[in-house]
Structure 1
Amino acid sequence: MARQAVRSTPAPAEHAATEDLPAYRTKAEVATDVVRRAILSGDLTPGELLTVVSLAERFDLTHMPLREARARCAPLARADEGGVLRARDRGGRSGRAGHEEARRCRLRRARGPPAPDGPRARCATHGRLLGPHETVPRAHLCRGAVTAAPRGGRSRARADAPLPSRLRARPRPRCRGAARALGDLSRAPRRRSRQGRASRTCARRDRGERGPYPAGHERRSSLMASGPLATLRVLEIASRGPGPFAAMLLADMGADVLRIDRPDPVNSESPPEFDVLNRGRRSAMIDLKKSAGVATLLRLVERADVLMEGFRPGVAERLGFGPDVCAGRNPRLVFGRVTGWGQDGPYAAMAGHDIDYIALTGVLSAIGGTGSAPVPPLNLVGDYAGGAIFAFGLLCAVLEARDSGRGQIVDTAMVDTTSLLAAHVHALIAAGHWRSERGTNLLDGGAPFYSVYETVDGRFMAVGALEEKFYDELVRRLGLRDLPPRGDRANWPALRQRFATAFGARTQREWTAIFDGSDACVAPILSFDEAAAHPHNVARGTFTEFASVRQPAPAPRLSRTPTRVRSAPPLPGQHTSEVLADWGYAPGEIDDLRRAGAIR
């Protein structure tokens, strides 16, 4: 809009709001004073529709200055008393006068009818409303406060949306000039420096700053640049079992996980390139038995969100990077510790494995047949279910640290997580519905309708027809009649014999064809190779192939930020120089650490 100095003309008598204006003003300033004084004097009736055309006819002014005048005068009106609200037709409604400290701003309205409570009740209940030059990030709105615009348009806050009392608004990018004129923008916009990237890097190094990137703005690996956890930086001290599994879950969701391998590698059942538990992350080899190596780790801690370790209690403290030392470097750091027995207790310093932990919790005693020894369920219950709970605890602590600014220790023990998994069994024990004898209960294979049966070809079928309607479907497809009631435990042996005889008359393939598509809750027991080729798993993409290695696909699946396998398992120390540079180390510092033997 061109700014033109004009001599204001005397207003008619009925427009007293234009009296005593300065002799020379711009058109926009003249229009602003006219509208402002009309609001302050009450000449504009509260709730009166204000359009540019009506204002121009009323005050004998042109349209363009009046548009700016209406925007400048909007904060003077009190929204809780019918203040000026910009309508979709670029009109507005006048409001009563208010003091500067009592300003209220309008909410960005979505299409549809207005809120039934009106701006007055909403303002009094949920805090101030948004101004004509303000917008709010979606994360700052309450649940259900945003309605998505159709066809990819900008999302808007609903007119009846509950807003938090401490609403943090920011000026809209296209309205910064008007926002500064109204006092809604306290400081001038930041201007881009004309200094080039190389010059800025050299200037930072001259000031003694570390690395080519300032703290908090380090370059991230392109492999870790997407996913729901893309802003999370994790340091994983190499370990076995639950630790790598938890780190894999975080990496699958986009976290930038840096695995710290030691010169004496952790024993693994498979070569490093096939160990899918280490997928999706990079590896740096740091000797934590040397002071320079520990100092390197502590510098990485300064820029990390999480540190994960699986040592026995006290080992990290003896090496020099215990929770207290790390908290001194980074108060927001979440220090994750995963062990079998926990950080305290009589068994805390003892060695152990999955089978020992689930044995001490009572879970192993419930797995197996009647009269036979307990059967270990691989190492899924203790190690890997525990690793999933470990990852859950880490994310809980990270969310809390982002609110409080303070990290904490996450103590995960396999005895704790295994006991937690058996919560349902403990509920059955409390209700008197669980027997201590193995293989005699509803869910441990004791019930004939929740068990495993052999087919004529030596394969097996799994039956889980717990509900009555599913049980009826099972009996019908088996072709059985005149069965005793299943509710009486005394009839279970007879039912089991009838089911075993029926399943033993056909092959697994035949029974699979009979039960496919039914609600009988029957499925064939497959090997790992057969499971990867099953049509349902193929259709779902349950398994994927990456770097010529078949492996389970990331889970769960997110609709808007899908997960994927981001990289193959690294060799120990494969990315040492690369990741140290990304985390803020200068090339000369990396060379010094390598000569000192702290990294490899």
Structure 2
Amino acid sequence: MKLEDLRVVDLSVFLPGPYLTMTLADHGARVLKIEPPGGDPGREIGPRVDGETVFFRNTNRGKESLVIDLKDPVGRERLLKLCDEADVVVETFRPGVVRRLGVDYETVSARNPGIVYCSISAFGQDGPYRDRPAHDLAVEALGGAISINEGQDGTPAIPGIPAADMLSSLQALSGVLMALLRRERTGRGDYLDMSMHDAVLAAYPNVVGPVFAHGRDPVPKHERSMGGSAFYRIYATADGRHIVLGGQEAKFVRNLLSALERPDLAVLCEAGPGPHQAPAITFLSETFVRRSQAEWVEWFAGRDICFAPVKRISEAFDDPHAQHRGMVLGGGATRQIGPAIKFRHEPARPRLSVPRLAAEAAEGNEVGA
């Protein structure tokens, strides 16, 4: 496999770091998960099946576990020896902690100049917020994401996806792979300072227009991709469920409004987002609420319109398309989320085993063995 010779020392906990290193493991890397006495907190978060939480299983499959107390000099030296033979180190401590523990990039790279060392933190290794404690929600709030995640009543809500966690994890994955490519050419590793806050701000290409162009904040209910367009919006159906229209191109607008015998409303929708689209929004709201979600799914079938039913998560994973794409691994209560990176010639081969806490470091279990 692509990464079968890659050796990774994983010092991370919770979500961003473990998801990154699990992705590497899915594609062949050998990942040694270094856990503190007591283990990764993810082992205790959420529902548990067969002794492991679903959360931990879906962020740590295919790894090997080793408990090391980094506050103990013997443990610290043991970790440094592992890093001597490793290609990648990933850590998610608060800034300054790895330096105090004596396992920071400077120490590791002095012994192993080829190491790619990735630190993921809430706000990065420098700046005014460097030492501020935060998880996903607080980072999204400070990054502005919560302010635009609001309903038509103008009240912000907690996003259903941990955007700061996942965006920073995927950005860090990209950075690690770029650094490894550079190392192939130069022989030198590198240090990645990945900030969850940076990752949120970097995710605004289609949102920041009003801010940069006009010096004003987006008004979600009037903006193109947040509900200010009749054709980019959530609508209720007769059975208390919902559907969405998710494409504002003229052809989609005219296809739907013509089918509903209101082509006169197309001109409003083609004039850009904003309050002037209210008549179209009202018409579509009154139309969609007359039938059930299932009836609208049937009605839209075969029509060239960006439409989708709002599915529950259980429905999304049971969907035939998700099954076909391999996004569900295993069966029953121990199912896992499949890898999203799809290679044609050398696809991922995720190992569904989950590392036991305090697994004995038997001879040959070290990363460099």
TM (normalized to structure 2)?
A: 0.91
Residues 284-327 of structure 1, C-alpha deviations (whole Å, 9 max, x = no match): 11111111111111111111001010011111111111111101
SS in 1 for 2:110: helix
Task: Specify which of 172, 196, 206 is matched with residue 414 of structure 1.
Answer: 196
* Structure 2 counterparts to residues 186-205 of structure 1, below 5 A: none
Shift of 1:574: 2.6
CA distance in 1, matches of 2:39, 2:161: 21
Task: Specify which of 248, 253, 256 is matched with residue 27 of structure 2.
Answer: 253
Is 1:265 the counterpart of 2:48? The answer is no
Task: Specify which of 17, 23, 41 is matched with residue 243 of structure 1.
Answer: 17
Q: In 2 relative to 1, CA 562–441 (structure 1 residues): closer, same or farther, beyond 3 Å?
A: same
SS in 2 for 1:576: coil
Give the letter aligned to residue 529 of structure 1: S
SS in 2 for 1:558: coil
Match of 2:335 in 1: 550
CA distance in 1, matches of 2:88, 2:194: 14
CA distance in 2, matches of 1:506, 1:421: 36
Residues 154-187 of structure 1, C-alpha deviations (whole Å, 9 max, x = no match): xxxxxxxxxxxxxxxxxxxxxxxxxxxxxxxxxx
Match of 2:306 in 1: 521
Q: In 2 relative to 1, CA 362–548 (structure 1 residues): closer, same or farther, beyond 3 Å?
A: closer
514-523 or 293-302, larger mean C-alpha shift: 514-523
SS in 2 for 1:580: coil
User: If you compute each CA radius of gyration, which structure gives the higher value, 1 or 2?
Assistant: 1
Shift of 1:439: 1.6
Shift of 1:487: 3.0
Match of 2:145 in 1: 363
Task: Specify which of 328, 351, 354 is matched with residue 136 of structure 2.
Answer: 354
Shift of 1:581: 4.9
Is 1:376 the counterpart of 2:158? The answer is yes
Match of 1:493 in 2: 278
Q: In 2 relative to 1, CA 482–247 (structure 1 residues): closer, same or farther, beyond 3 Å?
A: same
470-479 or 373-382, larger mean C-alpha shift: 470-479
Q: In 2 relative to 1, CA 579–412 (structure 1 residues): closer, same or farther, beyond 3 Å?
A: farther
* Structure 2 counterparts to residues 55-454 of structure 1, below 5 A: 227-268=1-42, 269-270=45-46, 271=48, 272=52, 274=54, 275=56, 276-427=58-209, 429-432=211-214, 436-454=218-236
CA distance in 1, matches of 2:256, 2:346: 40
Is 1:533 the counterpart of 2:307? The answer is no
Shift of 1:548: 5.2
SS in 2 for 1:337: strand
Residue 259 of structure 1 contacts residue 283 of structure 1 at CA under 8 Å; is this kept in 2?
yes
Match of 2:250 in 1: 468
Shift of 1:409: 1.1
Match of 1:507 in 2: 292
Q: In 2 relative to 1, CA 474–231 (structure 1 residues): closer, same or farther, beyond 3 Å?
A: farther
Shift of 1:468: 0.7
Q: In 2 relative to 1, CA 371–459 (structure 1 residues): closer, same or farther, beyond 3 Å?
A: closer
SS in 2 for 1:439: helix
Give the letter aligned to residue 344 of structure 2: S
Shift of 1:552: 2.0
Q: In 2 relative to 1, CA 578–372 (structure 1 residues): closer, same or farther, beyond 3 Å?
A: farther
Shift of 1:418: 0.8
CA distance in 2, matches of 1:434, 1:561: 47
Greater RCO between the two (CA within 8 Å, min separation 6)? 2
CA distance in 2, matches of 1:570, 1:294: 21
CA distance in 2, matches of 1:505, 1:578: 68
Shift of 1:472: 1.8
CA distance in 1, matches of 2:164, 2:215: 25
CA distance in 2, matches of 1:368, 1:503: 22
Match of 1:37 in 2: none
Give the letter aligned to residue 404 of structure 1: T
Shift of 1:389: 0.6
SS in 1 for 2:228: coil
Unaligned runs of 5+ in 1: 1-226, 585-600
SS in 2 for 1:403: helix
Q: In 2 relative to 1, CA 258–532 (structure 1 residues): closer, same or farther, beyond 3 Å?
A: same
CA distance in 2, matches of 1:478, 1:545: 43
SS in 2 for 1:463: strand
SS in 2 for 1:308: strand
Residue 27 of structure 2 contacts residue 350 of structure 2 at CA under 8 Å; is this kept in 1?
no
Residues 362-399 of structure 1, C-alpha deviations (whole Å, 9 max, x = no match): 22211112442212223431001110111111111111
How many percent of aligned residue pairs carry the same amino acid?
32
Shift of 1:454: 0.6
SS in 1 for 2:120: strand
CA distance in 1, matches of 2:14, 2:175: 18
Give the letter aligned to residue 512 of structure 1: V
Residue 326 of structure 1 contacts residue 333 of structure 1 at CA under 8 Å; is this kept in 2?
yes
Give the letter aligned to residue 234 of structure 2: V
Give the letter aligned to residue 235 of structure 1: V
Q: In 2 relative to 1, CA 533–231 (structure 1 residues): closer, same or farther, beyond 3 Å?
A: same
Q: In 2 relative to 1, CA 434–522 (structure 1 residues): closer, same or farther, beyond 3 Å?
A: farther
Match of 1:16 in 2: none
Shift of 1:345: 1.2
TM (normalized to structure 1)?
A: 0.57
Residues 408-457 of structure 1, C-alpha deviations (whole Å, 9 max, x = no match): 21000011111111133224543449753232100011111100001000
Residue 484 of structure 1 contacts residue 491 of structure 1 at CA under 8 Å; is this kept in 2?
no
Give the letter aligned to residue 308 of structure 1: V
CA distance in 1, matches of 2:215, 2:255: 26
Match of 1:26 in 2: none
SS in 1 for 2:181: helix
Shift of 1:353: 1.3
Is 1:559 the counterpart of 2:339? The answer is no
Q: In 2 relative to 1, CA 539–291 (structure 1 residues): closer, same or farther, beyond 3 Å?
A: same
